[in-house]
Structure 1
Amino acid sequence: MYDYFAKRESDGTTHRAHNLLRDRPRRSSGRRVAASRPDVAKIRVDGGYTNATIDHGATLGIDVEVVKRPSSRGFQPLPKRWMVERTFGRVMQHRRLARDYETLPQRSGAMIHWAMANTMSRALTEESTLSWRTETHFHTISA
């Protein structure tokens, strides 16, 4: 399996497949299509980042905003943070990405591109991902 992904990453198939799918789910849901190489002007980070990160962002012309957690108890979505958490959740659905098994960063990147291609193709076909909590899933495993 690893050899398959390594070959597809090195011959450019991974990026071509990802790029072919990238804008289609946005268009089909009526949202704005992102630029192919957007300029990053602002990023939001959690409270674990230091002033060095903010200073480094400033040297690159990027406004780094630290999003603090509210002091009240209970769930409260943080501005834009839910998008990042949703993306992490989607990536974690792919078993190989649940841990950092890859020794080369470009292989990790290729695996993430394939995970996102899977997510985008499911969005286009309106097919949902089976949850491990789904009763059907338990019957499939035990059969």
Structure 2
Amino acid sequence: MHALVHAADVQDRDGGVNVMTTLFGLFPFLMTLFADGGYQGEQFQSGLKKAIATVNVEIVKRSDQAKGFVVLPKRWVVEQTFAWLGRCRRLAKDWECRNAKAFAFLKLASIRFMLRKLCKPS
């Protein structure tokens, strides 16, 4: 749906506010944001509420009783998408020295991924 590429010295939590602000600006009908535990800090929550007051943030956490690997609801979709994008050789490592170039290759990989999904005979 949306992506931003920023410098490596920007924390995900800090860059997440920019991503969510532009995402919810493009798709104002979205109401819920599912995020992992790294985004539960006060800085992210207050920055997001300041930008978008109507969004409901749900933090998906791992259970304390869980032993070993456990598939977390909603989070596996993101992890699976990252794995599919990581199969593209250009995205497997950070080769790009310009953010615009990295963003372009991310879009190309996403287009390739969606075309394969759409053209796959069922």
TM bucket, shorter chain? 0.5 to 0.7
Q: Give the unaligned 5+ runs of structure 1.
A: 1-36, 128-143
Report the secondary structure of 1:44's partner residue.
Answer: strand
State whether structure 2 residue 76 is matched by structure 1 residue 86. Answer: no
C-alpha distance 103-64 of structure 1, shift in aligned 2 (>3 A): farther
Normalised by the size of structure 2, how large is the TM-score? 0.64
TM-fit CA distance, 1:52: 0.7
Equivalent pairs, count:
91
CA deviations on 1:32-83 (whole Å, 9 max, x unpaired) are xxxxx31243322211232211111111123332211112113332221111
Between the two structures, name the one with larger relative contact order (CA 8 Å, sep ≥ 6): 1
C-alpha distance 103-41 of structure 1, shift in aligned 2 (>3 A): farther
C-alpha distance 92-41 of structure 1, shift in aligned 2 (>3 A): same
Q: Give the unaligned 5+ runs of structure 2.
A: 1-25
Equivalent pairs: percent with the same residue? 34
Runs of 4+ in 1 over 6 A off after TM superposition: none
State whether structure 2 residue 45 is matched by structure 1 residue 45. Answer: no
TM-fit CA distance, 1:94: 0.7
Query: Which residue number in structure 2 is paired with residue 70 of structure 1?
Result: 63
Normalised by the size of structure 1, how large is the TM-score? 0.56
Match of 1:55 among 46, 57, 66: 46
Report the secondary structure of 1:74's partner residue.
Answer: coil
Report the secondary structure of 1:48's partner residue.
Answer: helix
The whole-number CA distance in structure 1 between the counterparts of 2:87 and 2:70 is 24
Report the secondary structure of 2:71's partner residue.
Answer: coil
Report the secondary structure of 2:33's partner residue.
Answer: strand
The whole-number CA distance in structure 2 between the counterparts of 1:57 and 1:96 is 32
State whether structure 2 residue 112 is matched by structure 1 residue 125. Answer: no
Which protein shows a greater Rg? 1
TM-fit CA distance, 1:125: 2.3
